[in-house]
Amino acid sequence: MVNTRAKIQKTQNTRKTCFSQASIEDPDHQSTWSGTLIGSNDDLLTEILQRLPVTSILRFKSVSKHWLWLLSQRRFTLRYDNLSKSPGLFVRNMYIPFDVENQNPPPFQSLDFCFDPCGIRILQSCNGLLLCCSDRGNQRARKYYVFNPTTKQFALIPSVPGGPNVRRTIRFMGLAYHQTNCVHYKVVCIRNAEVNGELFQIQIYSSNTGKWNISSESFSDNYYTLFRCGVYWNGAIHWAPSSHNPLYLKVDDEQLQKLPLPVQVDSSGGYFNGLIPKYFGESRGHLHLVETANNDNRLHLNVYEMLNDHSGWFVKFQVELDELPGAFPEMIHSYQHPSSPHYYEFDVFDVVRGEKDEDTFMVVRIPGKLIRYNVHDKSFKQIFNLTNYYRGGDTHVHRYTETITYF
């Protein structure tokens, strides 16, 4: 007699074994197959890696030689930097994140990437790189550095040719760098060609050649342009309008041009008053200037944007800060006369463009606090308690932008 029951039991056991093996082996097989597919396709791997945070990118360079090669390729670094974020800013070397709910660790605890007995401070931020210099000491012995806070790479800039007597005549040092139109960073120096004179000379250092180039032409500045607040944008360094002769320097051509002034949107219809604007800077390839929209309400601001051909400005955003004094009464000051209008104490530290216009926000300083203010929906929130803040002196607010580019 055939043992049918035993056959059935054996068949069931065989099926269980097959099912059990399939349930264990298939995920591994699928995972191995998917990993092989992604690992052998650089385009697919690039699409995935460029969406990871910068800390992961730097760590993944040690996975293999192939990954190191792929993540160091200019094609990858350029695509990644185009998608990179600006997570915060530096105020006198102190890092302040824009997002208080999702804070990342600061890019550095202190500017100690290189020993300088005089300490180090930030002069300028330019598309992910920082131009730094000795914080104290005689200007003739001052050292200048280019530092990438993301990769921790730095370079010491050779001294301006001519010895200590030339270095003491420096009026401006600025950085020119962009991942596409200025891949080798340049340092621009404006100095007095004669002591206490009105004749100036341009010298430019290139990281590509490692040398300073002295311009053959000098220029005079009868209006005493304030050579600070330099901003690199669209192939040129621009100085915040502070006189009747605002200038910008086309770096490649070493040519100075006159920077047009925006027209005020107010009842007088006059021109920009020539004082240093409330804000002057660049974000996501846009050059911005912020000034009071009219004299009747100092809380109404115009955010101007420069046309790409430098032909003029247009009003990109109109910002009304009317709700801030109610939420932060410490920014309200009254003059002695009761009938006098209120004076509002605030500064615009930054204008940060989003991928969409509705994501654009301003960083506004009021007494003791930093506020993030959305220019589209007028929402705002405090992001930092800023104590012991001193108004005055050179600009000291610099945006942090992540970049994995090496120089």
CATH number of domain containing 320: 2.120.10
- DSSP-derived 3-state class of residue 303: strand
Residue 5 inside a domain? The answer is no
Q: In which domain, by residue range, is 149 found?
A: 84-400
Name the least confident of 262-266, 312-316, 356-360. 262-266
Residue at 26 is within a domain:
no
Q: pLDDT at residue 348 above 90? A: yes
CA dist 176 and 65 (Å) reads 32
Contacts of 180 (CB under 8 A, 6+ apart): 78
- For residue 220, pLDDT over 70 is answered with yes
Domain count, the chain: 1
Domain-embedded: residue 330: yes
Instruction: Look at residue 56 and tell me if it is in a domain.
Output: no
Share of the chain above pLDDT 90, in %: 45
Rounded average pLDDT over 80-100: 86
User: Has residue 335 been placed in a domain?
Assistant: yes
Cα–Cα dist 7/13, whole Å: 10
Whole-number pLDDT of residue 209: 95
How many other C-beta atoms can be found within 10 angstroms of the C-beta atom of residue 244?
12
How many C-beta neighbours within 10 Å does residue 278 have? 20
DSSP conformation class of 111: S
**Position 179 pLDDT exceeds 70:** yes
CB atoms within 10 A of CB 387: 8
Contact 93, 108 (CB under 8 A): no
Q: If DSSP codes are grouped into helix, strand and coil, which group holds residue 363? A: strand
Is residue 339 in some structural domain? yes
- Does residue 278 belong to any structural domain of this protein? yes
Q: What CA–CA distance (Å, rounded) separates 388 from 405? A: 35
SS3 136: coil
pLDDT in tens, 112-171: 999 999 999 999 999 999 999 999 888 888 999 999 999 999 999 999 998 888 888 898
Which pLDDT belongs to residue 42? Answer: 83
Residue 113 lies in a domain: yes
Residue 321 has which token pair?
């800060």
Going from the C-alpha of 96 to that of each of 87, 107, 177, the distances in angstroms are 9, 10, 23
Q: Are 405 and 148 in contact (CB under 8 A)?
A: yes
Mean local confidence (pLDDT), 365-379: 95
Residue 8 neighbours by CB under 8 Å, 6+ apart = none
pTM of the model: 0.83
As given in the structure block, the two tokens for residue 115 are 């020993």
In this prediction, residue 225 carries a pLDDT of 65
CA pair distance 261, 272, nearest whole angstrom? 6
The helix (run of H) or strand (run of E) holding residue 23 is helix 4-39
